Structure 1
């Protein structure tokens, strides 16, 4: 089950433990380093293979996987007197990682040309795309709550807070989308 793709395919590092490739890529870079849950979450969110955009969802995902790795003996908690707990991957983890997941070391002599500069609008366009997808999801959620209320009016009191939350999220996302579209239109010189 050692598939790896840009869509977060699971990577099996042993029979009973499977880790998504986005998280596996980040973990494989941490050999010999201690890290907090927050450190790992931040690194995971920045990785192109990350499946999560929201920090809360990413943190939950990372923490669940950390607990699984600890129980499998692939990660240990480092004892500290104060502050946030620190964690470290064990040698057992690196023995189980498929070779394709271990990052290659690049020597300075090999890297002669500097990579082409990325379009500065690209991150904004990506952010706009994410917000549009989230907005469509929130709109669908709102419509579904509305449909359920129409079919089962007796559930209206239970559904109303969920509907309101979804509608508010949709409004906030619409504001973000409009702001990004305005900024990108200004960048390209459109009115």
Structure 2
């Protein structure tokens, strides 16, 4: 075991433990990471935070990176002695900032933060729903024999995306009115 303690986001550690025997991309890690967080953040912020941490963990010898010509397709893998390493767990920086803001807010400003949380969750759900509908469409375009089977799921995912878009618009309207 090393004398140096490696600082790691506790949610990222959980995801890395689950994927210890698999290769993964930054986007795959981000998607798993978002499901672990108790409060929602934007997928773009999560991806950036994950990428910074993964680079730091590669330098520390916790991960190996397998570069590809397209950097977004580069894969990472947890080293074999991962479970024996000495980690110091931290709260993610985006949560520390969020918690600091919450403690200084007055009661009057609390509702917008609840709405902003809900907005972020709807945005994550929307991205997931859009990706699902695109995948169904791709699958039945590539495999025309599956069109009858997959077309209904495609339409359901599209309808869900439309509903989420409406919810996002409504929440943004409420946030706009409350912040005036």
Q: TM-score range by the shorter chain?
A: 0.3 to 0.5
Bigger share in helix = 2
Give the number of the structure with larger relative contact order, counting CA–CA contacts within 8 Å between residues 6 or more apart: 2
